[in-house]
Structure 1
Amino acid sequence: MNSIIRRGVAVGLTVAACALIAGCDDSYLDQSSGRSQQPISSATLAEMDKLDTTPSSPTIIRTYKKEAELEIWKMKSNGEYALLKTYPMCRWSGQLGPKKREGDMQVPEGFYTIAPGQMNPTSHYYLSFNVGYPNAYDRAYGRTGGNVMVHGVCSSAGCFSMTDEQVADIYAIARESFAGGQREIQLQSYPFHMTAENLAKFRLDPNIGFWKDLKNGSDHFEVTKAEPSVTVCGKRYVFGATAKGEVSASEPCPALTRDQDVEALVADKEQKDDAKVADLVASGVKPIRLVYADGGQNAVFAGYKDESDPDALATGPQEIVLDDRKAAPAAVKIAVADAAKRNASSVALAPVEAAAAQPASPPAPTPPPVVALAAAPGQVSGGVLGGLNGGAQNVKKWLHLGGQEPAPPPVEASAPDQPAPAGAPLPPHRDDAVSDGEKAVRMASLHTPPTPPARPNLAGPASDDSDSSKPAPAAAATAQ
């Protein structure tokens, strides 16, 4: 009997150790806990009374990584949602941007759903609930991973981590909403508050197209104060629409119907926000990129013990100012040099006899060389340099001789996998999520001058790398 008890204790300790190593793997359960039935705090109940809402009314959760905040919105008696409470986030990990693969330590971004079955009342992390990553959008891009939680303990390896006291209150709010009849709670995860200032600062971030898609969902919520419907089709989010036909996350969207009054409000908000962004850029707001050692936390927790990677929070994120001036592509520089050589070799000296036969006259001024760009070998005219005419216009632009700048190649608005701006540092990764070969490449890159930006891939973004042995769930057509 004693040997059986000792074996059981050993197994329990092994499971607990594995749970700590796995970060947000919430497989270890504390069956003796009754904390899942704790009531909503009296302070939160008082705020509900002021807001004209009740514990059983529906809930929406919104999170912001850069500001490290988690918001709880509750439906009022008039059917509109209002902000109930903002909880400072104790810890999140990774960088700004979406989660792409198992083990990348990224907190996901997007629209997710929480059902009653995703609540864990006996979590190793005090209390927790699964946010529903990967959703239909993530699976359309081949993204892997799972076990992304909102939990306590202030320790994150890809999760939204709160203090135990905070998560007890958040858990109780969600529990009472489910008890009141809400079938699913929408969680809107953003990189930052979708303000004009943030959009101006991050306008050159490789994720900006994806973030603008998320902003459209945020705008729908802001103008209606109602939960936006979420459909995934054509590998992008579509908000506030009803599909007329079958929907596939990876296939083009079918015919959609929308509330035109709502769409007019959303369009008006978008135009006003774009105007504010333009004003900020004109006033000199620089484009930046934030590089975190490993995520962050709200300023109110400065000095608070972090269980996952406290050293990563010592200095805060590094702000990199990006250069928004366009450098001349290498192909243009080569074409200019070649054209100059051809022009020089075409100037032949006149024979001496012909010169002697001509009457003496002052030499005519030599006109400046005209640069004409031919298509590169194997490339049809009108390619990357724009052919003869377009290429000349490009060269004039880069040489500041006038001419119109060619329109940039189209980029899919929802594609978050665009290459980073040239010269921007690679964000650091935790050692346990990076192979030795990958580390060597990154160390070498720190001592290698930046190379010119690669030609954009006009075929669209490639699917994310998958290094997970877990099979991905079947793709869902709609993220509810």
Structure 2
Amino acid sequence: MLPIFAGKHHGSRGFRSRVIGILMAGLVVSGCVTSTLELNDRGNAPIPQKTIVKMRELGMKPADPVLVRIFKRESELEIWKRNSSGRYALMKTYPMCRWSGGLGPKRFEGDRQAPEGFYTVNSGQLNPNSQYHLSFDLGYPNRLERAKGYSGSALMVHGACSSSGCFAISDEHVAEVYAVLRDALRSGQPSVQVQSYPFRMTPQNLAAHSDNPNFSFWMDLKAGYDRFEVLRRPPDFQFCEGRYRFGEPVSGAAPADPLAECPAFAPEVQQVADKSTGDLEKMKSLLNDVQSPGLAYSDGGMNPVFRRILASKGPEHLSKITSSTSVPVSRPQAALADPYVAGRGPSGTGAAKQQ
């Protein structure tokens, strides 16, 4: 059984080492694929009982609405669920086995970029017959991306450990995530909001990437990130002037054309405005102290728990324990090298330690 990190922070280095040790000990068991993954009707497999128990402990039910957040650099996928208080709380954090491309949005078919932005997933986007065990389509390109001429199709969260623009989280993890989303949608949630970010939108990370050409786009995404961090409910988002806007237009509706001029929006909730302003000031104060790491990507990343297995056991072993059909790990050498320090090349000596 692959471990699933619960909570927003993973604690000390010792805790992470113990988690990695547990992961590696569990994954060397022959097969390491539960009977759930072997069912022909895998799209209807129930949520694991241990996850149901965890939901109850957190004041959640399988029918409660759900939200997904994805962080590329950290290679993590979060499931948030509404609890008995009416606010969303973190249910579980899943290590991501593979994503491709670099930090920044996807712009065209074949660029191997995994998308960044805000998406909605309805029941029709769930794929119980995916060649990567199970999957759900993010809905890329959304209306804004289509208006900007971005292209691409079938950008998924799926199983295995192979990516050419998708987010691969292993068969066992996707089985659980799929079941959680499926049950929420079957219980009446019209669609699930998926937020995909380059990294956790902290002042430190923003300062470290302030010279990136995608910085203004990321600051737009941060407005939605801040809303969710403070209010703990899915932020309403609109498209206008070729960008994301969050909150409610005063007129009651944003223009149909995502490139048209933005209407007036209601003032931001004070707590959200305070967080955004405070983070911006902290980021500015860090600019003189935080030097850009100059990190680059030859082809995406991989969570450290999977990188450790790849480095010690090899790609064939990793493919067997993350895929019921032994789907090959995509570009394993790049997965070990990325991210690397720009100017040194994507070799082992240039590999940068992920944070």
- TM-score band, normalised by shorter chain: 0.7 to 0.9
* 1:388 alignment partner in structure 2: none
CA displacement 1:19-62 (0-9 Å, x = unmatched): xxxxxxxxxxxxx9311111112222122111101011000000
* 1:5 alignment partner in structure 2: none
Partner AA of 1:286 in structure 2: Q
CA displacement 1:321-342 (0-9 Å, x = unmatched): xxxxxxxxxxxxxxxxxxxxxx
* 2:303 alignment partner in structure 1: 298
Secondary structure, counterpart of 1:288 in structure 2: coil
* 2:261 alignment partner in structure 1: 252
2:276 aligns with one of 267, 270, 275: 270
Structure 2: which 5+ residue stretches go unaligned? 1-38, 311-317, 320-327, 347-355
* 1:314 alignment partner in structure 2: 336
1:62 aligns with one of 65, 69, 88: 69
* 2:159 alignment partner in structure 1: 152
Distance 1:319 1:296 in 2: 14
Question: Does the CA-based 8 Å contact 1:205-1:289 persist in structure 2?
Answer: no
Alignment of 1:204-283 (within 5 A): 204-242=211-249, 244=251, 245=253, 246-256=255-265, 258=266, 260=267, 262-282=268-288
How much does 1:426 deviate? 11
Distance 2:277 2:344 in 1: 32
Question: Does the CA-based 8 Å contact 2:299-2:338 persist in structure 1?
Answer: no
How much does 1:242 deviate? 3.2
Secondary structure, counterpart of 2:145 in structure 1: helix
* 1:175 alignment partner in structure 2: 182
Distance 2:169 2:250 in 1: 37
How much does 1:140 deviate? 2.0
- CA RMSD between the two structures: 1.8
Distance 1:229 1:315 in 2: 38
Cα gap change, 1:188 to 1:216, in 2 (>3 Å): same
Question: Does the CA-based 8 Å contact 2:159-2:168 persist in structure 1?
Answer: yes
CA displacement 1:409-459 (0-9 Å, x = unmatched): xxxxxxxxxxxxxxx8999xxxxxxxxxxxxxxxxxxxxxxxxxxxxxxxx
Aligned residues: 289
Distance 2:148 2:175 in 1: 34
Secondary structure, counterpart of 2:287 in structure 1: helix
Distance 1:179 1:166 in 2: 20
* 1:35 alignment partner in structure 2: 42
Give the alignment's TM-score, normalised by structure 1.
Answer: 0.58
1:118 aligns with one of 125, 130, 137: 125
Distance 1:214 1:319 in 2: 25
Alignment of 1:3-402 (within 5 A): 33-242=40-249, 244=251, 245=253, 246-256=255-265, 258=266, 260=267, 262-282=268-288, 284-302=289-307, 303=310, 304-305=318-319, 307-320=329-342
How much does 1:280 deviate? 2.1
Partner AA of 1:269 in structure 2: K
Question: Does the CA-based 8 Å contact 1:87-1:166 persist in structure 2?
Answer: yes
Give the alignment's TM-score, normalised by structure 2.
Answer: 0.78
Secondary structure, counterpart of 1:169 in structure 2: helix
CA displacement 1:117-171 (0-9 Å, x = unmatched): 0011111110011000000121121101111001001110100101100000000
Partner AA of 1:135 in structure 2: N
Q: Which runs of 4+ in 1 moved over 3 A?
A: 424-427
